[in-house]
Amino acid sequence: MEVTLRLSSGAELAEDIIDGKPHSTPFPNVVIKQPGMSHRYSVEESREAVYFSYPAEQVEALRKVNLLPEGSIQLFELTPRLKYLVRQMIGLMEKSRNYGVADRIDLLGVEILEELKLQGQSESMNDNRSRIMQLASYLQINFTEDLDLDELAHKFSFSRRTMFRHWANYFQMSPVRYITNLKVEEAKRLLFETEMDIASISEYLNFNEITYFCTVFKKETGFTPNEYRKQEAIKKVDLDN
């Protein structure tokens, strides 16, 4: 199991595909990569991160003592305590071959997991933040549906205006742009991994017209869907060779 704390980045969001589902997450965030989990991500801007790992056989022990954060990816606050633990771990990693250092790194890893778990529990007490994060998770799962923002606001006990105001506390892009971003990332995956034609992808992602889909895709990526598919196919051939 790998625990990666992504502390900061020049990018606004971290783009991940976890077990086939796209995620767009602000920084800082933590990714818990469980054994057998499929994880793909792209990095367009430099980022600061630290990671540590545990053998697969230790995962169940960590789960039994309730040390694993919920979900595969979550936001966290880089508190002074967490900054101190991360600095300590980075310093020890440079001396990891020295006697006893590996055990100290393991202990620090446990302390970091405890801090993340406590933050997750505190977050559930913050009702507005909790509901906004639930909304973001809902969008990540249902972005291909025909979503109505007024209905979503009602679903998560907000007025439309209040939902946008609280959303802006945690995300720099609007809910509409967030959904668009998820759709474009899924379109990129489908163009690369499948043979679906452009019209089918546009329909699957609930764009009203294929021309609108192509316009949005080019605006976000700089390429038309066909150009992107050809470019990725060339890259794949180069890698295979």
Reading phi first (left if > 0) and then psi (alpha if -120 to 50, else beta), residue 20 is in left
Q: Is 115 a residue whose pLDDT tops 60? A: yes
The domain in which residue 218 lies consists of 183-241
Q: Residue 182 has what pLDDT?
A: 94
Q: Note whether 83 and 104 are same-domain residues.
A: yes
Q: Residue 139 has what pLDDT?
A: 93
Q: Note whether 82 and 172 are same-domain residues.
A: no
- The model's pLDDT over 160-209, given as tens digits with 9 standing for 90+, comes to 999 998 899 888 899 999 999 999 999 999 999 999 999 999 999 999 89
Burial 18-32 (b: 16+ CB within 10 A, else e): beeebbbbbbbbbbb
Residue 63 — very low, low, confident or very high, per pLDDT cuts 50/70/90? Answer: confident
Q: Note whether 76 and 149 are same-domain residues.
A: no
141: domain CATH number?
1.10.10
Q: Note whether 90 and 59 are same-domain residues.
A: yes
Q: Is 237 a residue whose pLDDT tops 70? A: no
Q: Note whether 190 and 170 are same-domain residues.
A: no
* CA–CA distance, 239 with 241 (Å, rounded to integer): 5
Q: Note whether 189 and 165 are same-domain residues.
A: no
Q: Note whether 213 and 101 are same-domain residues.
A: no
Q: Is 101 a residue whose pLDDT tops 80? A: yes
Residue with token string 């991160």: 49
Assigned token pair, 138? 């809902």
Q: Note whether 111 and 166 are same-domain residues.
A: no
Q: Note whether 121 and 103 are same-domain residues.
A: yes
Residue 118 — very low, low, confident or very high, per pLDDT cuts 50/70/90? Answer: confident
Residue 124 — very low, low, confident or very high, per pLDDT cuts 50/70/90? Answer: low
Q: Note whether 161 and 204 are same-domain residues.
A: no
Alpha carbon distances (Å) from 69 to 20, 22, 189, 199, 226? 20, 19, 27, 40, 40
Domain count, the chain: 3
Q: Residue 64 has what pLDDT?
A: 79
